[in-house]
């Protein structure tokens, strides 16, 4: 005996002894099924490919088959099985050796054969028992979820076998007078196979024999309606004969020897009297109580963070649904997350549920599958409402599902039960602020709360708008009449003591979070602790990978698992954030980490942001002569780094984090790294805030560049939106400090900045000397960014002095530098300059070409200021070329890009150019006969 067991009468599963085997993805499982269900037969690779993929083979063709076989053998070998003898290679193909291996479909036929023999011998009771044992082996749809023509054919074959065995068993039950049991079995089968006329005829006979003639006739009516509407045919002669016999009361034809009336079953209601006040969940309640089809069991799952009010919601929903489920309303706390109590075993719950519906559980066996089958049979004719509270996972819930059509199941869990097939899913987050305030008002009393509405709002915020925290806070105020809302707010304001304050007797927010945390695997626990060191409330897989020092895939898996356990929310694909109070708990756990762990995590995540900013800048890493080692940063250039920063939120928050944890060098490096990116996107306020934050730390940094560099970038942050006087002060200060600290590159850039401001102020002589000096220094420092800025400004000076050809020559040099660096922003800027000069020179076609390409480059890098400049000047070029409608459309697009961050001179330029084009269009339109005046 190999100790191997396989199950195909449900999901494909395998065990070696008690150890479950990982069979891999579904296509790999489908290949295993093709071998497993034809033991001893050798299949070539092409034949296996056809059986698994059918008419849609993979691009790799038969090459995929050996890979799947290799992985299957590896899974078997990992469990201690001699894999090469189980899946043998033979004549260029593969054969499954079934010797000593248990297969549930084989066991099914062995037991069924014994049952059939007992039936032929007249021992109908034994035959029913054996067939029941055989049918209990089914755990759902055979080969559930497996693709391919072979799996589909076997699924149909095994399903039909189940129906045939069930029909024979029910026929024996009717002959024995076991009508209730027959009805239970047939109700499940008929719901699964609503057009099967043989099953419908048996169910009609069973209802009639049990004294439920009306139900028997209703089965016929529904069957006929379904067949006529869906297939355009009447029921077959045999079913119609049963129908007529029921109408006549013909016991002999129906094979009924005795009929009896069923006792009236008293419905049992187990809902808790008080599951907490429901607040602000009207939409979710409507989802759970909406009408459903009455011919199937409807399952709804509610998940959410601890304390979100899941139990209160499903109990309220159950109260509203009670009338629709006349056979009982059952409630079970599964203790998936209970302090000091393990999750209830499904077998224990099943015994309790069987007793609740009046079935003697002493007759039930210990095997979970048989208990579950017994429960399904017992509920097949019942319409129940079952509430399963606090499930640990889908595997705890699946065996507990009833079988009666029209039954409803409401499940709550902190986990997202993705392994459970549900009709409806509801994920509970925090209440909105108004709902949270309303709950506090109701708990404490409107009169008392009305005097402190501002404090009530702040208390709701500090409680994270979480119902459990709000109820605890409200209870504390109830029990302490002398406390004001403002006083409790002051007690909760401290991050370190907030969770301790949110405790009342046996209710505790921290305890609820701890139970969820303690059930996580070790790696996910560590990931959760690292969330407490994240620099922003929201993060992604790259940030967590940096904090953990793990691979990106490992970090993403941990994040998704934390979402499944409701410890994280996912506000957008790839973005994750904890609930406010969960974040407090994560920070508390992170504070207990070893100092070296915290140090490494903070270094890595800050370097991630520094690397992103530097890669996203115009000249990339080459623009920054000093800084951290960025070898491990997962960016390759401006595209992926810019895309990541676009989703990273307010970068001044990250700088503030670095300042707050005392990282002077990293804070300064980060601030200078993101200036170019933020200015390009016209996020000027954020840019100034980020650099201003590090100004007090610049002299503390070990990098000697920082005192000058921080002031230099404050100059850029003020110059770009048009604050020229403040910019000049910062550039001058940076130049002065660089002369004392030896930060020559920063001094050269400051010199170029001052020269540019001189040009903008109308002073054209002094800048030439400064720009020439800056250009020389750019060559010494190999600073392409500085060189481009200096050459472009010189070109602008030539343009202002009417030397347009010299200006174009400068811009051509700048364009070449931009092409060398490979950054569209620099290229687009030089194209805009060249196009603007061409526009003044009257070379409108070439101007339009340059400006159009400049606009495309600006759009590619989301440079809003450059994009608007190119569009409005391109509109003027199109106007001069006679394309007035195109010009008007371009001006409209330019105006649509204007924001409150757009500086005044650019806005004025767009408005003035647009006005000129509008006047030209008005003149054209006025010359058209009968044309309406332009508004």
| pLDDT 10s digits, 492-531 | 888 788 888 888 777 788 888 888 898 899 999 999 999 9
User: Which DSSP state fits 802?
Assistant: T
pLDDT tops 50 at residue 1: no
Spatial neighbors of 129 by CB under 8 A, at least 6 apart, are 115
The region that residue 307 occupies, defined by phi over 0 for left and psi between -120 and 50 for alpha, beta otherwise, is left
Rounded to whole angstroms, how far apart are CA atoms 784 and 760?
A: 22
Place of tokens 């010359």: 927
pLDDT tops 60 at residue 708: yes
CB under 8 A, 24+ apart: contacts of 850-854: 851/877, 853/828, 854/828, 854/829
The region that residue 533 occupies, defined by phi over 0 for left and psi between -120 and 50 for alpha, beta otherwise, is alpha
Provide the token pair at 20.
Answer: 């479950």
Please provide residue 341's backbone torsions phi and psi, each rounded to the nearest 5 degrees: -135, 125
Per CATH, the number for 295-428 is: 3.40.50.300
User: Which DSSP state fits 100?
Assistant: T
CATH architecture of 520-593: Orthogonal Bundle (1.10)
Q: How large is the average pLDDT for residues 630-653?
A: 92
Q: Kind of pairing, strands 569-572 and 42-44? A: unpaired
Question: H-helix or E-strand containing 467?
Answer: helix 467-479
User: Which DSSP state fits 90?
Assistant: E
**How many beta carbons lie within 10 A of that of residue 375, not counting itself?**
25
Question: Which tens digit of pLDDT belongs to each residue from 173-210?
Answer: 888 888 777 787 788 778 777 888 888 888 888 888 87
Chain mean position to CA 802: 59
Determine what percent of the chain is predicted with pLDDT higher than 70: 95
- Cα-based angle 466, 468, 469 (whole degrees, multiple of 5): 65
pLDDT tops 60 at residue 930: no
> How many angstroms separate the Cα of 309 from the Cα of each of 279, 388, 412, 468, 880?
8, 15, 10, 7, 66
Predicted structure pTM score: 0.65
Helix (H, G, I), strand (E, B) or coil at 908: helix
Q: Where are the beta strands (DSSP E) in 588-706?
A: none
Helix (H, G, I), strand (E, B) or coil at 523: helix
Spatial neighbors of 726 by CB under 8 A, at least 6 apart, are 718
Rounded to whole angstroms, how far apart are CA atoms 435 and 310?
A: 16
State the maximum Cα–Cα separation within the chain, in Å, rounded to a whole number.
Answer: 119
pLDDT tops 60 at residue 838: yes
Spatial neighbors of 131 by CB under 8 A, at least 6 apart, are 111, 112, 115, 165, 166, 168, 169, 172
> How many angstroms separate the Cα of 69 from the Cα of each of 30, 284, 460?
11, 47, 57
Chain mean position to CA 916: 51
Rounded to whole angstroms, how far apart are CA atoms 456 and 450?
A: 9
Radius of gyration (C-alpha) of the chain in whole angstroms: 38
pLDDT tops 50 at residue 934: no
Question: Is 308 in contact with 344 (CB distance < 8 Å)?
Answer: no
Among 596, 586, 608, 621, which residue's Cα sits nearest to residue 499? Answer: 586
Residue 263, pLDDT score: 42
Question: H-helix or E-strand containing 103?
Answer: strand 102-103
Question: Is 818 in contact with 788 (CB distance < 8 Å)?
Answer: yes
| For the chain, domain boundaries | 295-428, 433-515, 520-593, 596-703, 823-927
Q: How large is the average pLDDT for residues 373-397?
A: 90
- Cα-based angle 694, 698, 703 (whole degrees, multiple of 5): 125
pLDDT tops 80 at residue 387: yes
Residue 757, pLDDT score: 92
CATH architecture of 823-927: Alpha Horseshoe (1.25)
Rounded to whole angstroms, how far apart are CA atoms 895 and 533?
A: 42
pLDDT band at 326 (very low <50, low <70, confident <90, very high): confident
Question: Is 717 in contact with 691 (CB distance < 8 Å)?
Answer: yes
- Cα-based angle 862, 867, 870 (whole degrees, multiple of 5): 155
Provide the token pair at 648.
Answer: 């990273």
pLDDT tops 60 at residue 471: yes
Rounded to whole angstroms, how far apart are CA atoms 620 and 637?
A: 7
Within this chain, domains 520-593 and 823-927 share the same CATH topology? no
SS3 sequence, 885-899? HHHHHHHHHHHHCCC
Question: Is 517 in contact with 478 (CB distance < 8 Å)?
Answer: no
pLDDT tops 50 at residue 893: yes
**How many beta carbons lie within 10 A of that of residue 67, not counting itself?**
11
Helix (H, G, I), strand (E, B) or coil at 625: coil
Q: Any alpha helices (H) in 681-783, and if so which ranges?
A: 684-694, 706-719, 724-741, 744-760, 766-781
pLDDT tops 90 at residue 399: yes
pLDDT band at 330 (very low <50, low <70, confident <90, very high): very high
Q: How large is the average pLDDT for residues 657-666?
A: 95
Rounded to whole angstroms, how far apart are CA atoms 554 and 545?
A: 8
Helix (H, G, I), strand (E, B) or coil at 324: helix
Determine what percent of the chain is predicted with pLDDT higher than 90: 41
Average pLDDT, the chain: 87
Q: Strand order of the sheet with strand 13-16? A: 19-20, 13-16, 4-7, 102-103
């Amino acid at each position: 005996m190999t100790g191997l067991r396989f199950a195909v009468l449900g999901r494909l599963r395998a065990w070696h002894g008690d150890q479950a085997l990982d069979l891999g993805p579904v296509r790999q499982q489908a290949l295993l099924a093709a071998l497993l269900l034809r033991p001893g037969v050798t299949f070539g690779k092409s034949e296996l490919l056809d059986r698994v993929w059918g008419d849609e083979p993979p691009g790799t063709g038969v090459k995929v088959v050996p890979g799947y076989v290799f992985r299957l053998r590896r899974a078997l070998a990992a469990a201690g099985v001699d894999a090469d003898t189980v899946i043998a290679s033979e004549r260029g193909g593969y054969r499954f050796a079934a010797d000593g291996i248990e297969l549930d479909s084989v066991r099914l036929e062995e037991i069924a054969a014994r049952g059939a023999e007992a039936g032929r011998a007249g021992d109908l009771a034994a035959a029913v028992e054996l067939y029941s044992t055989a049918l209990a082996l089914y755990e759902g749809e055979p080969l559930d979820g497996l693709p391919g023509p072979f799996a589909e054919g076997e699924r149909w074959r095994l399903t039909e076998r189940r129906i045939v065995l069930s029909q024979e068993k029910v026929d024996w039950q009717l002959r024995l007078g076991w009508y209730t049991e027959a009805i239970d079995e047939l109700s499940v089968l008929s719901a699964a196979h609503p057009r099967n006329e043989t099953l419908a005829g048996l169910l009609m006979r069973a209802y009639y024999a049990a004294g439920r003639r009306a139900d028997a006739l209703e089965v016929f009516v529904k069957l006929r309606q379904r067949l006529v509407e869906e297939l355009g045919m009447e029921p077959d002669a045999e079913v119609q004969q049963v129908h007529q016999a029921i109408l006549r009361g013909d016991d002999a034809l129906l094979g009924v020897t005795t009929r009896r009336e069923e006792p009236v079953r008293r419905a049992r209601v187990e809902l808790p009297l008080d599951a907490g006040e429901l607040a602000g969940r009207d939409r979710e309640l409507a989802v759970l109580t909406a009408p459903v089809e009455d011919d199937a069991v409807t399952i709804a799952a509610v998940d959410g963070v601890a304390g979100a009010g899941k139990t209160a919601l499903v109990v309220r929903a159950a109260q509203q649904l009670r009338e629709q489920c006349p056979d009982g309303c059952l409630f079970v706390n599964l203790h998936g997350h209970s302090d000091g109590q393990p999750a209830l075993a499904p077998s224990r719950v099943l015994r309790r549920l069987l007793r609740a519906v009046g079935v003697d559980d002493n007759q039930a066996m210990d095997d979970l599958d048989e208990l579950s089958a017994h429960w399904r049979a017992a509920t097949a004719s019942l319409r129940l409402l079952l509430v399963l509270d606090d499930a640990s996972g889908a595997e705890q819930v699946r065996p507990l599902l009833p079988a009666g059509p029209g039954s409803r199941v409401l499940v709550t869990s902190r986990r997202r039960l993705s392994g459970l097939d549900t009709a409806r899913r509801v994920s509970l987050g925090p209440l909105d602020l108004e709902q949270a305030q309303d709950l506090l008002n109701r708990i404490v009393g409107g009169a008392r709360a009305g005097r402190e509405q501002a404090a009530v709002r702040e208390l709701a915020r500090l409680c994270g708008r979480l119902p459990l925290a709000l109820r605890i806070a409200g209870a504390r105020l109830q029990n302490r009449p002398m406390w004001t809302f403002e006083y409790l707010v002051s007690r909760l304001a401290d991050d370190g003591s907030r969770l301790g304050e949110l405790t009342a007797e046996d209710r505790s927010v921290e305890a609820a979070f701890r139970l969820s945390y303690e059930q996580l695997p070790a790696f996910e626990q560590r990931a959760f602790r690292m969330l407490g060191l994240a620099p922003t409330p929201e993060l992604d897989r790259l940030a967590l990978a940096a904090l953990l020092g793990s691979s990106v895939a490992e970090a993403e898996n941990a994040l998704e698992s934390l979402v499944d356990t409701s410890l994280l929310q996912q506000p957008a694909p790839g973005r994750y954030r904890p609930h406010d109070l969960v974040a407090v708990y994560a920070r508390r756990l992170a504070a207990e980490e070893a100092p070296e762990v915290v140090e490494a995590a903070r270094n890595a995540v800050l370097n991630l942001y520094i690397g992103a900013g530097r890669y996203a800048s115009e000249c990339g890493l080459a623009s920054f002569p000093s800084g951290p080692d960025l070898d491990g940063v997962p960016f390759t250039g401006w595209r992926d780094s810019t895309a990541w920063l676009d989703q990273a939120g307010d970068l001044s928050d990250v700088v503030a984090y670095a300042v707050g944890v005392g990282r002077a060098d990293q804070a300064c490096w980060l601030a200078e790294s993101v200036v170019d990116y933020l200015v390009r996107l016209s996020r000027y306020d954020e840019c100034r805030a980020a650099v201003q934050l590090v100004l007090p730390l610049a002299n503390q940094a070990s990098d000697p560049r920082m005192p000058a560099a921080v002031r230099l970038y404050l100059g850029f942050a003020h110059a770009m939106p048009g604050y020229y006087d403040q910019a000049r002060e910062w550039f001058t200060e940076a130049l002065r400090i660089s002369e004392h600290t030896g930060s020559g590159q920063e001094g050269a850039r400051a010199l170029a900045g001052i020269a540019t401001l001189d040009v903008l102020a109308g002073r054209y002589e002094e800048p030439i000397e400064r720009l020439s000096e800056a250009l020389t220094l750019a060559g010494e420092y190999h600073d392409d960014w500085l060189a481009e800025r200096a050459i472009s400004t010189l070109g602008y000076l030539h343009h202002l002095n009417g030397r347009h050809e010299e200006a174009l020559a400068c811009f051509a040099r700048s364009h070449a530098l931009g092409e060398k660096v490979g950054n569209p922003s620099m290229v687009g800027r030089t194209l805009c300059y060249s196009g603007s000069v061409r526009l003044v020179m009257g070379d409108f076609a070439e101007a339009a070409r340059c400006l159009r390409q400049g606009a495309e480059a600006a759009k590619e890098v989301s440079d809003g200021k450059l994009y608007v400049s190119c569009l409005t000047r391109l509109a003027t070029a199109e106007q001069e070329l006679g394309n007035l409608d195109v010009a008007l459309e371009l001006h409209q697009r330019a105006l649509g890009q204007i924001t409150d961050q757009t500086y005044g001179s650019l806005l004025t330029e767009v408005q003035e150019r647009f006005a000129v084009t509008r006047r030209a269009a008005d003149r054209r339109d006025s010359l058209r006969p009968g044309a309406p005046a332009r508004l």
